A and B are shown apart, each in its own frame.
Chain A
Amino acid sequence: KNQVEQSPQSLIILEGKNCTLQCNYTVSPFSNLRWYKQDTGRGPVSLTIMTFSENTKSNGRYTATLDADTKQSSLHITASQLSDSASYICVVTAGNTGKLIFGQGTTLQVKP
């Protein structure tokens, strides 16, 4: 069964610290993996999109990595800011159907 599991479910860190969010998937065949940031009361915003051949992609202080062999991805946030407080959603696209499989998200809270 195609699934996307994210961990941790929630995370609290202090401003200025780094953190890493995990995404494990069982989707096969694989097309691409996306990370979204969703602020409270807003729609998701795309952070990164990676295909099978890409293993790292950055967007400012956000760096996503992909290991297609182990079917794992991580999102690393450097020097966190209060505005990073949000839900982060990992989405994997199935290669044969184009179907999107969503993770449940990780809720990050950055405290001053």
Chain B
Amino acid sequence: KAGVTQTPRYLIKTRGQQVTLSCSPISGHRSVSWYQQTPGQGLQFLFEYFSETQRNKGNFPGRFSGRQFSNSRSEMNVSTLELGDSALYLCASSLDSGTGAKNIQYFGAGTRLSVL
């Protein structure tokens, strides 16, 4: 069974541009969550999508948005990029929504975004 696939692996953008990251979950998983990871802040939750609906949202500005398609694939978009958006963006998929103990999340390898 294929794991969680994130594309692209690496991305370089300049300030003010926008970027779209893609995540293909494990087959059969309906929940996709996005996280930002930086050396200073560690892992931070961005949002979760389940059956094409945003279920939960972290404390990020509206420049960060996402969507989920009917095949459970998800995209994350960041508009008007800032230097501080440089980070590893991780996607995780799970069978169900939420953070209950039985709902294990499986992470992709991430997209490393550098904003110059």
Interface residues of A (CB under 8 A from B): 31-32, 41-46, 49-51, 89, 91, 93, 98-100, 102-105
Contact = CB atoms under 8 A, between A and B. Distances in A.
A45 B56 CA distance: 22
Interface residues of B, number: 19
Nearest to A44: B107
A106 to B, nearest CB: 11
B108 interface: yes
Contact of A43 (B42, B56, B90): B90
A93 B107 contact: no
B45 interface: yes
Contacts of A105: 42
A40 to B, nearest CB: 11
Given A31-B99, A44-B107, A98 B44 contact: no
Contact of B4 (A41, A43, A46, A89): A43
18 contacts: A31-B100, A41-B109, A43-B4, A43-B92, A43-B107, A43-B110, A44-B90, A50-B101, A51-B101, A89-B43, A98-B100, A99-B56, A100-B99, A102-B42, A102-B43, A103-B42, A104-B42, A105-B42
Nearest to B33: A100
Which one of B45, B100, B105, B108 has the greatest number of beta carbons of chain A within 10 Å?
B105
A93 B99 contact: yes
Which one of A42, A91, A100, A105 has the greatest number of beta carbons of chain B within 10 Å?
A100
A50 B80 CA distance: 40
A89 B88 CA distance: 15
Nearest to A94: B99
Nearest to B104: A46
Contacts of A41: 109
